[in-house]
Structure 1
Amino acid sequence: MRLTKKITVTAEWIQRYAKSIESPLQYLHGKLIAPATMPIVFWQLFDRAILNNQKPVLHGSQQFFYHVPIQEGMVLHCELALSHKEHKQGKQGPMTFYTYTLNCFERGTEIVQLKTVLIHVGADI
């Protein structure tokens, strides 16, 4: 399943996010740039149906791969997809590792890719 969303990045949004994580504001060529971790809040804009269940999950890891910093005024076309699923046996029983990939583009140019691993403990869902 692949979900898509158009996301407009405003200066106000960047400022609110930067303040929430106590990050200083930064500029590039006179434009406000987003803190590197800001794409994690993009998940909130997607339909959570991609997660397939209501069970609690553990956060495994995150990786950000930037080609260009996110700047105020960008209109990003983002795609969120389940890119990998792996079953493992843990001390508490079966675990399933789900890797989600979020790719964001502006006018066809990739800006950032975010990989997030979420862990479901218990029987496969």
Structure 2
Amino acid sequence: MNNLRFRVHLSEEAIVQYAASIEAPLQRIGAALVAPSTMPITFWKIADAPWLHMPEPLIHGIQQFHYEAPLTSGMELDCDLSLTRVENKTGRQGALTLYTHSLICTCAGKRIVTVETALISVGDK
């Protein structure tokens, strides 16, 4: 369907800012700062996925994070964001559209994290 490839430099500053925004404690492995487990969701803003440019707000549905290794400061991540499915459903409050995504991030060719997320828009399309 839709796919974007982009690179993320994971800086200490970005980790500190994100951790503060969700009130998460900071942790280190040696000298490297460890990113909170939900931080990959912020990578979507870097990708600027055109299929997410909608007038109505999107609500997070499910989110699943599968880590092979922790995200740490200094990493250069190669990321692939894909829209894998679009489903129209009817909920208690009317029409819903579910946008299911997969985000895969690697560092130096090694998979670090895979994220599966469903975003929901409410209303007719």
TM-score for both structures, normalised by structure 2: 0.88
Corresponding residue of 2:55: 54
The answer to which of 107-116 and 12-21 deviates more is: 12-21
Structure 2: segments with no counterpart, 5+ residues: none
Q: How many residues align?
A: 124
The answer for the alignment partner of 1:108 in structure 2 is 109
Match in the other structure for 1:64? 65
- By how many angstroms is 1:52 displaced? 5.3
Q: Describe the superposition over 1:4-55 as per-residue Cα deviations: whole angstroms up to 9, x where unpaired.
A: 1110011122122222222221111332111111111111111231225322
Q: Contact between 1:50 and 1:81, CA under 8 Å: does it hold in 2?
A: no
CA offsets 1:68-103 (integer angstroms, 9 cap, x no match): 000111000011110122222223332221111111
For 1:57 and 1:10, the matched residues in 2 are separated by 27
Deviates more, 1:51-60 or 1:115-124: 51-60
Gaps of 5+ in 1: none
Query: In 2, Cα distance between the equivalents of 1:8 and 1:37?
Result: 16
Partner of 1:117: 118
2:20 and 2:53 map into 1 onto residues whose CA distance is 32
Q: How does 1:19-30 map to 2 (within 5 A)?
A: 19-30=20-31
8 Å contact 2:4–2:49 — kept in the other structure? no
Alpha-carbon separation, structure 1, partners of 2:17 and 2:59: 26
User: Partners of 2:104 and 2:6 in 1: how far apart?
Assistant: 10
